[in-house]
């Protein structure tokens, strides 16, 4: 397993980060049972993965609970455990979501209980919340850090200007601030290359891309209109599949065949080897799928292949708007 520094922290994390969004969701849809989740987690740790990402809103806490039970056997100390807050955690409480001082503190305490741990290595703000001044959020995070309940703080899906604002407000306040950003990044959506990624590289932020396969759209499964059981085959409220650039994906498939790679391997290897990227977040519902993804994150692509990819999917551009900028308390993240 290859390891990289998590931004400027010096903490070493595996080049593949295990995402646990499927843990606890309905297995008849795209989720995983606790038994299957444990099999995937065990296999990931056996393969050298030491970076695991979850969120309180995943299955309304069930993902964290599954992880908490699974890591009680003494493996917790070797894991860099990341979770998030922001998403709505109760339907009858208007304060049970967002980035307010109150909610960040309360959400962290609840996550610690579900994860059955005394500390969270990386506590991330799942989405920006423009109605709440960033100093309120940073003050809560710094209090949690000083109390030893979190080691580091990170952001997720912040715009470049929002991350920059948080960076300099933290300096003015004399607090640690964010050390990582977790953005959507894949061949169908390269917008972070314009401003966000250069900012993170300049100030040495760890970058942990989510959805490096664009929800499976870069696996090739949706090139076949008869696909069933995939994430967007049953429900696609944002209309991603309607805008899927099949002609470009067919060209990409030709490149992957030419170089002896699957579309999944090519797409994951491309993200993992981009300048400034720390660890793509990979999800898996089977050990086979997990193993293939971890191996792909450690591949090096020939420069000629990278150049050919750029001719199909232009740097800084996007073909599918994967992230809904209107995410709010009534919408499930990702």
Q: Give the catalytic positions in this structure.
A: 58
Instruction: Report the distance separating Cα 248 and Cα 188, nearest Å.
Output: 10
Instruction: Report the distance separating Cα 120 and Cα 167, nearest Å.
Output: 21
**Per-residue b/e over 129-148, b at no fewer than 16 CB within 10 Å?**
beebebbbbbbbbbbbbeee
CA-wise closest residue to 308 among 256, 269, 244, 261: 256
Q: Tell me the two tokens of residue 13.
A: 């994390």
Taking the alpha carbons of 321, 187, 316, 245 in that order, is the dihedral positive or negative?
Answer: negative
* Helical residues (DSSP H) of the chain, grouped into ranges: 34-46, 62-70, 101-115, 134-146, 160-173, 196-202, 246-258, 263-272, 287-297, 303-312
């Amino acid at each position: 397993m290859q390891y990289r520094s998590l931004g400027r922290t010096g903490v070493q994390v595996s080049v593949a980060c295990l995402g646990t969004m499927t843990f606890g969701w309905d297995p008849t849809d795209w989720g995983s049972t606790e038994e299957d989740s444990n099999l995937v987690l065990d296999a990931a740790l056996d393969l050298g993965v030491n970076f695991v990402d979850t969120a309180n809103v995943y299955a309304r806490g069930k993902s964290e609970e599954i992880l908490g039970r699974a890591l009680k056997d003494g493996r917790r100390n070797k894991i860099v455990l990341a979770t998030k807050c922001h998403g709505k955690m109760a339907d009858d409480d208007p304060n049970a979501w967002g980035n307010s001082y109150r909610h960040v503190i309360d959400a962290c305490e609840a996550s610690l209980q579900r994860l059955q741990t005394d500390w969270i290595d990386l506590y991330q703000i799942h989405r920006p919340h423009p109605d709440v001044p960033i100093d309120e959020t940073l003050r809560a995070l710094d209090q949690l850090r000083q109390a030893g309940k979190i080691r580091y703080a990170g952001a997720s899906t912040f715009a470049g200007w929002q991350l920059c604002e948080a960076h300099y407000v933290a300096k003015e306040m004399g607090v640690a601030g964010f050390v990582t950003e977790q953005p959507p990044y894949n061949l169908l959506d390269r917008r972070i290359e314009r401003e966000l990624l250069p900012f993170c590289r300049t100030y040495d932020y760890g970058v942990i891309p989510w959805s490096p396969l664009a929800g499976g759209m870069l696996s090739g499964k949706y090139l076949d209109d008869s696909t069933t059981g995939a994430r967007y085959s049953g429900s696609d409220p944002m209309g991603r599949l309607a805008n899927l650039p099949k002609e470009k994906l067919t060209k990409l498939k030709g490149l992957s065949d030419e170089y002896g790679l699957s579309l999944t391997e090519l797409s994951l290897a491309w993200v993992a080897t981009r300048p400034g990227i720390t660890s793509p977040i990979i999800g898996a519902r089977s050990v086979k799928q997990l193993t293939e993804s971890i191996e792909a994150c450690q591949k090096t692509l020939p420069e000629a292949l990278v150049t050919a990819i750029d001719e199909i999917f232009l740097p800084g551009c996007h073909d599918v708007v994967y992230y809904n900028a209107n995410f709010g308390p009534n919408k499930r993240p990702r």
